Structure 1
Amino acid sequence: MSRTTRRRWSAAVLAAAAGLVLTGCGHPAEPTPAPRIDTAFELPGDRVYPEGIALDERTGDAYVGSYIDGTIYRNTVGATRAEVFLPSGTDGRRTANGLRVDRAGRLWVLDSTAGVAVYDIDSRQLRARFDVPGTGDRFVNDIALGPDGTAYLTDSRRDLIYRVTPADLDRALTGAGHGELSPAFDLASVLEPHGPDAYTLNGIVADPTGAYLLTADSTGGDLYRVALTPDSTPIRRVNLVGGELPLGDGLDLQGTTLRAALNTNNIVSTWTLSDNGYTATRTAEHHDDSLGTPTTLVHDRDRVLVVASQFDRGGPLGPGTPTAPFRVLAVTGL
């Protein structure tokens, strides 16, 4: 059954957005309604703990990965319950973080301790794999695809962004099917100081013009702009107006609208970017415990799909028992 909840906007955002603004006639403006939260679809299993989500723009199908065991689920358009697409242990994977579907119909699946696996969706066959270089600590977390097909991956333990270019992928596809991730950007020198056990770079999105990337620092609560074209400051902290991104996890970019999931805070927030991406102004922030520790989100037509991970209920972030079934939420009005 679909469950609908309506909760509160943060008081500051509600006041700024509507409640205290007077119209030209001197009357109070109508309050902005709170977003509506429904179940988009359920995930089978009692210990799914989903982390990443991707949409296939060709079909509208959604893919979700289990952080706990690496199972990949597919939900077809109109279905209320997802099915297993790639079982746990497929090609040796036992975890799944960020997911993306490229224009050629390939599913990119991040393995936090190994790298990224690239699957052909139609055949479900592994086509290529790129491994993290070296033997040190690593946590490959999220992925964005640039307009030219280049993949960018964050490493939350090394403060790095890796890059897989179309040429890199072609070499793997026509060769042994294997490659190594290439570090493209090192943000260690610009991030806020943090302890040795901190997890930093997390969600990442690519500007559709190919000018820059945006990535969230979960520990510092900051957003960083990484230039992909010539810029006097190649890596800079974005000026956040109206708030920060504490525990910032997944990001979604739709035009100049940036959405962020703040995981254990049970918050989704909306920001408007300046044309150059140097400034982001918070336009709304919504807290609701039913978000279930949201790890990421993606826009799908007139709604936003939000992954309710329940990581803090017997998962990687805390003790307890999850509420069955695990769900992906549909949020409208965000």
Structure 2
Amino acid sequence: MGVCTCVSRAALWPPPPRSPPSRSRYHSAPVPPRPTPRRRASPPPSRCPVSASTRRASPRIRGRGTCTSARSARERSTGRSRDRPPPSPSCPPAPTANGLRVDGAGHLWVIDSSKGVTVYDVRTRALTARFDVTGGAPSLVNDLTVAPDGTVYLTDSLRTVIYRVTPEQLARGGSGTLTAWADLTDRIHSDTYTLNGIVSDADGRHLYVVDMGAGDLYRVTTGGVAAVRRVDLHGPPLTNGDGLELRGRTLWAAQNLDNTLTRWRLNGSGSAARVTRSVTDPALQVPTTLTHDGAFGGQLLVVRSQFDKGGPLGDGTPEEPFTVASVDGI
């Protein structure tokens, strides 16, 4: 199936502001622009030089299910020449909020890619617990998933490991540490960025995680010692693979720099997957995460990050308001 056919059938509408008309139909959920902030006194000079991409790392807009809080160049890229090396300990990175998930007990998990994950009570907004990465090796905590039993698994794109936080650890509250539960460095040999999106299946027996550099998908068994197997992909590689979504045996993936969404069908054991649908369209504006919501008629809701417009992946100015796109036909 050709790209043009896929795009026209996927029907994305409307195109982003000031973009040429697209053959696709998107149903976009616009986010109101932020109010003009009050002018504040300039802070004293910092010993750590702040680059343009670091300045853009503060949250810009919030509303209706989206937050375009900035993510660094390291966290959603594939190690190309535009990426900067990890910051030195003497010049720590600005805080980020790049991975979000609400568990069944009403906790909001928020990843700070350079530090770890913070947990809040959704009802009271109180901070419940925090789990930090340790050690001197560069780290980039990227994405997370919540298994049916409440266990949370998190990817690290630089250490190529999966962390695990159990409900018992969360119940203790306070501060804790993230320790590697599954180490994939013996399978993935890369000095750039690797593990990104991660999802759990319905019974919590398996996790699926994408290596955004090589475009591979891995199945990880959760019972006992983590058993890792590369999934046989009958279709194009998941290069630049970012957010994942799994419903039954249907897996969706966002491929950020490729402006692509793909739909896959897993076999009964989850050891192989066949691509069944693909959409590539610049109107996706560097999609970074997605969810399948039955309340929207079974459509995919996709965050359009615009990281290539004045963000970590390109120069220019992002178009406001930022939007979450509802994508038909995939």
1:145-184 paired onto structure 2 within 5 Å: 145-172=146-173, 177-184=174-181
The alignment partner of 1:167 has SS state of: helix
Once the two structures are superposed, residues 122-178 of structure 1 have per-residue CA deviations (whole angstroms, 9 ceiling, x without a partner) of 111111100012122100000000111000000000000000001111112xxxx11
Amino acid at match of 2:329: G
Amino acid at match of 2:126: Q
Distance 1:130 1:143 in 2: 13
Distance 2:137 2:316 in 1: 31
Q: CA deviation at 1:93?
A: 7.6
Give yes or no for the alignment of 1:201 onto 2:204.
no
Give yes or no for the alignment of 1:10 onto 2:3.
yes
Distance 1:128 1:93 in 2: 20
Once the two structures are superposed, residues 217-246 of structure 1 have per-residue CA deviations (whole angstroms, 9 ceiling, x without a partner) of 010111011111369x91111000022101
* 5+ residue gaps, structure 1: 1-7, 15-30, 54-60, 70-91
Once the two structures are superposed, residues 58-114 of structure 1 have per-residue CA deviations (whole angstroms, 9 ceiling, x without a partner) of xxx735361259xxxxxxxxxxxxxxxxxxxxxx98311111001111110000001
Q: CA deviation at 1:49?
A: 8.5
1:126 match: 127
Task: From the superposition, tell whether residues 111 and 166 of structure 1 become closer, same or farther in structure 2 (CA, over 3 Å).
Answer: same
Task: From the superposition, tell whether residues 34 and 185 of structure 1 become closer, same or farther in structure 2 (CA, over 3 Å).
Answer: same
1:67-82 paired onto structure 2 within 5 Å: 67-68=70-71
Task: From the superposition, tell whether residues 331 and 275 of structure 1 become closer, same or farther in structure 2 (CA, over 3 Å).
Answer: same
The alignment partner of 1:66 has SS state of: coil
Distance 2:58 2:306 in 1: 6
Task: From the superposition, tell whether residues 50 and 291 of structure 1 become closer, same or farther in structure 2 (CA, over 3 Å).
Answer: farther
Give yes or no for the alignment of 1:110 onto 2:106.
no
Distance 2:58 2:302 in 1: 13
Amino acid at match of 1:165: T
Q: Is the 8 A contact 1:65 1:99 kept in 2?
A: no
The alignment partner of 1:170 has SS state of: helix
1:320 match: 316
Distance 2:260 2:270 in 1: 22
Q: Is the 8 A contact 1:50 1:307 kept in 2?
A: no
Structure with the higher strand share, 1 or 2: 1
1:38 match: 27
Task: From the superposition, tell whether residues 170 and 264 of structure 1 become closer, same or farther in structure 2 (CA, over 3 Å).
Answer: same
Greater than 2 Å deviation, 4+ residue runs: 11-14, 31-36, 43-51, 61-65
Query: Could you tell me the percent identity over the aligned residues?
Result: 47
Q: CA deviation at 1:34?
A: 4.1
Give yes or no for the alignment of 1:260 onto 2:253.
yes
Q: Is the 8 A contact 1:154 1:203 kept in 2?
A: yes
Q: CA deviation at 1:316?
A: 1.0
Distance 2:198 2:58 in 1: 21
The alignment partner of 2:31 has SS state of: strand
Task: Give TM-score scaled by structure 2 length.
Answer: 0.76
Q: Is the 8 A contact 1:9 1:285 kept in 2?
A: no
Indicate the larger mover: 157-166 or 125-134. 125-134
Distance 2:290 2:220 in 1: 21
